[in-house]
Structure 1
Amino acid sequence: MASSLLMHIQCSVCLSDYTDPVSLPCDHSYCRQCICGHVRATTRPDGKAECPECRTLFSPKDIRANRLLRNMADAIRDHMADLKLGDTAEDSSQNKLKTKVTSREHTGWMLCPLHEENLKLFCETEQKLICLICRDDPTHQGHKFVPVKEAANARKGEVKGVLGFLSKENVELDKMIQQQVSEISKTEERSECLSNQISAQFEEMHEFLRKREEDVKKMLEKEKTEAVESMRKNISLVEEKLSCGIEKQVILLSALDQQPDDSFLQWWIESGKTVTEEVKRSDDENSAKEANEVSPKRLYKSGVRDLHVAPDSLFLGPYETHLQFFVWKEMLRSIKPVPLHHSIEENDDPYLRVSPGGHSVFRKSKKGIFATKKDYVPVAHTKTFLKTGQHYWEVQVGDKLEWSVGVCAKELDNEIDTLLICSYEMGYVVGRYDYDDEEDIDVILVEVKPRKIGVYMDCERNEVSFYNADNMTLIDKTKCHFTSPHALCLSPGSYLEGKNIDPLSMCWY
């Protein structure tokens, strides 16, 4: 049994246990030092070498770390060490065994500690080995008995089922780790690309803007660090699951190699059932699932299902697409892109009036919108709806006491999606609207009263961000509720006895 396990962790070059195992494209694995030495000694003029086993050509850059094999080798070595310790302990404490094995050499059977008879039966009721005399004992009256071989075969079937499941599970976990590593590479590559993009844009500005360039790069580095740290934590979680699965896999592989059957059943009694039950679903879970899905995999609790591969989340918002404008808006002659030159569409709302040319929207001298019709938000919206890309508008709010600026969705009859609201009574709030037209208001802190609001719509991420356009500080960022094309929407607020008659105006540069 020990030799069969050790065969799986031996390098075919040095014939020793793997140290830092790596794999080639042909899926053969070696110690990193062994294969690197082989490459140095046999590299062809084209820079490629042959696999020592199958002679498939590969280049040094094709060599990749094999984490699954490394973890399995470590687990097997630890398991073999535990077996040696267990054998030593068993030799020194034979008197503590529940069953006697001294006569195995002569009979091939373990002996009952009470009757010195062969343990030929397995009590299904009490999950223990018994002899024929024990079977007739009153303590076993009404119990179910099966021959040892039959019981062992049944349990081996369970162990094989769990082992097969764990094998597939561990492959999926390893694949998940590789995918996460790939996502980290994407983040780092994207970070480098954005860094170059930032540098190129800053090159178009004067020397006194270099300080701002440095600040933006620091923000990028922070976002990258946070994104990579989060994904590395996810790798650690997946590796922990994988390590646990490999450990159980090794234990079950070792158990299946045990002979004869009574030894296997003794292992089953002492620890095997516990190990398999840890992987299997409970009866309640199986009953709930069997009506909808009957699959061998559904018999076991999946560790993969509760995990996920964290995607590349590196994102600089408007600093990716509108960097120059956000840094120095006064340099409009050399800055591209600039805020969208959209006009406001006329509508028949009795509380609103749109200026000729669609530059501004006014609140008519009517009362009661927010006081008596709190569920109604009168808005106007721009003529153009946007479905792709990243877009930015600016709206002049001035000293108005109430106003609303946000986005609306086209396919739902211009339904309001998200608004930044300056309320005369509540202050600054972000209003999010669900599909039942019920408003969910979040109060937000705005330290400096803005006179100009920037709205950044990222159609790819379905996010909207609100900025104080005077100093370009972020006020709030939120996910949109609808995925249809969006347009900018505006409301000049309540009339407030003539105190709030100033318009909301689009900023056209």
Structure 2
Amino acid sequence: MTTAMEKLQELQREITCAICRGYFSEPVTITCGHSFCKTCLSWSWRVGLTTFSCPECRQVPQVREFPAVNVRLAQLTDLSRELCSLLLQSAKGQHQCGRHKKALKLFCEDDQTPVCVRCSQSPDHGAHKLSPVEEAAHNCRKKLQHLQNHVVGKHLEEAEKLLAQEARSAAHWDWMIIGEYNRLHRFLMEEEFQSLERMRQEERARQDRISQHMQTLQDLMQELQKTGDQPNVELLQEVKQLLGRSGSILSQRAKAVIPELRECPIPGMIQMLSQFRVDITMVPTSASPFLTISEDKRSVKAEEGWQLETSHPEADFSHYIFAEQAFNSGRQYWEVDVTQLSQWILGIHTTYLRRKRGRNVDSCTSTFLLCCVKKEEDYYLQTHPGSLDHRVKGSVLRVGLYLEHNPGTLVFYNVLQSSLIYRFHPILFTAPVTPIFCPGPPLPGIKSGPMTLCPVESCRHSYL
């Protein structure tokens, strides 16, 4: 029995395709002598390959044409499959009916189950279509082989083509995306170069104005000294004109010397920061009786009667409104509408590390602020701490604040101009950061409106 089983296994190997591991279907034989299913070999020899080698021994056929079906091998495969089926049944013994203990020689096509002769004569199968087990098994194997080679194989080939198409499409999209980002990088580099060049030109013009103003002052000093040395009558005759000219020259000081905040729009910056928008609200109570917070906790207004008790309002915490939210990680961005205010203060309150002499550091509780101050007809933006004290051409209507906890960064933006105002960096945060607001100090005789937190959704739509 062992020898017969070994012969059976050897026969099965001879009629089995080395690619799909199933019985041959439309077998083809190449010049090296190995045979495969026609469909399997066509999959192996895909279009585009430069070398058509044997999938089993890797030899390259001398003839590149696809071989024809080996009809004799196909007939031998069919006969061998039937023989293998019979040998397997003989080796394992026939199955028996559980009720009648008879061999299962028939197959009920209606119930799709093997039955014995006595079962086929019972009322349960009397009207059913019956066929010999060998014939039914042969037909079943043909169906399975057809399903394997023509249905599943076709879908597999389609899936393979689709996978290759997706791979090509993905590579194409990769290159397109990379190209667009490279274009964006080039555009930003060009914008950066142009912005820096504009600032350098403005700086040179400003230096020229200051140099000319210095020269004018030096000439005026010499003229004043020269006129002062003249005799009394001549001095009195020229002094009126000289004093008038001196006043005119000195009045040009602000325009020539006081710095003006540079306007440097950064295209796309506000739109990019909008992805870090956070929805914040104000603490509904205040230490100051002159500040009123709205019911939705999104705006605060300074009432009449607010008197400044210090020349440094940034140091007076009683007039600050704190946010209900505090942040200790990540990146956040929020915007504040200050359209109806002449003066205002925005910033954050936190604990941070301050470096002292040498390598020593100590922990400090402080604020980082941007203040808008109005002097006569001009508006000035100042930072505390910091060195910013610059005049602006007009009032800032909406301020954006960007906070990044690591590395510690706080940046102020003029939202409507998409331009930078000031950046605090680095700040060694050691505790959560809380946004703070102050709609003042109010100016005498000027009625101020509220300071309002811009809703997240409305700000997003405004940039579309």
Look at both structures and tell me which one has the larger radius of gyration over its CA atoms.
2
Please give the range of the TM-score, normalised by the shorter of the 2 chains: 0.3 to 0.5
TM-score, normalised to structure 1's length? Answer: 0.33
